[in-house]
Amino acid sequence: MKLAGQTGAAVSALLGGAVVTLSYGHLLWANAILSIPTLLVLGVTEPPIALEKAKQRPEGFKDVLSALARDGTTRLVFLNLVVLGTAGLVMVWTRQRYWQDVGVPLALFGVLDAAYNLLSGLAGGSAARASARYGRRPLLATVGVLPVIAYFGMAWFFGWAGIVLGLLIQISRGLGDVLFLNALNERISSAFRATVISMAQLGTRASFALLGPLVGYGIDAWGLPSVLSALGILFSIVFVLLLLPLILRDTPLSPADGPRE
Query: In this model, does residue 52 exceed pLDDT 90?
Result: no
In terms of pLDDT, which residue wins out, 130 or 41? 130
Please give the sequence-ordered ranges of beta strands (E in DSSP) within 128-227, or none if there are none: none
Question: What domains appear along the chain, each with residue ranges and CATH number?
Answer: 2-254 (1.20.1250.20)
pLDDT tens digits, 155-194: 999 999 999 999 999 999 999 998 998 888 887 777 677 7
State the Cα–Cα distance between residues 137 and 261, nearest whole angstrom: 10
190 Cα distance to chain centroid: 22
Query: In this model, does residue 101 exceed pLDDT 50?
Result: yes
Average pLDDT, the chain: 81
Query: In this model, does residue 54 exceed pLDDT 60?
Result: no
pLDDT > 90: percent of the chain: 40
pLDDT > 70: percent of the chain: 73
State which H helix or E strand residue 225 sits in: helix 224-238
State the Cα–Cα distance between residues 160 and 104, nearest whole angstrom: 9
CA distances from 140 to 6, 80, 110, 239 (A): 21, 10, 30, 10
Please give the sequence-ordered ranges of beta strands (E in DSSP) within 145-229, or none if there are none: none
How confident is the model at residue 259, as a pLDDT?
A: 40
How confident is the model at residue 261, as a pLDDT?
A: 37
Report the chain's C-alpha Rg in angstroms.
20
35 Cα distance to chain centroid: 23
Task: Collect all residues with Cβ–Cβ distance below 8 Å to 201 and sequence separation of at least 6.
Answer: 85
Query: In this model, does residue 125 exceed pLDDT 50?
Result: yes
Query: In this model, does residue 55 exceed pLDDT 70?
Result: no
Stretch among 62-71, 159-168, 219-228 having the lowest mean pLDDT: 62-71
Task: Collect all residues with Cβ–Cβ distance below 8 Å to 235 and sequence separation of at least 6.
Answer: 83, 87, 147, 148, 151
Q: Residue 255 — very low, low, confident or very high, per pLDDT cuts 50/70/90? A: low
DSSP 240: I
Q: Is the dihedral of CA 94, 98, 99, 101 positive or negative?
A: positive
Query: In this model, does residue 138 exceed pLDDT 50?
Result: yes
State the Cα–Cα distance between residues 235 and 140, nearest whole angstrom: 14
Compute the average pLDDT of residues 11-36.
Answer: 70
State the Cα–Cα distance between residues 45 and 47, nearest whole angstrom: 6
How confident is the model at residue 4, as a pLDDT?
A: 61
174 with 120: CB under 8 angstroms?
yes
How confident is the model at residue 58, as a pLDDT?
A: 44
How confident is the model at residue 233, as a pLDDT?
A: 96
State the Cα–Cα distance between residues 166 and 92, nearest whole angstrom: 10
How confident is the model at residue 90, as a pLDDT?
A: 93
Give the total residue count for the chain.
261
How confident is the model at residue 260, as a pLDDT?
A: 39
Query: In this model, does residue 11 exceed pLDDT 50?
Result: yes
Interior angle at CA 227, CA 217 and CA 221, nearest 5: 40
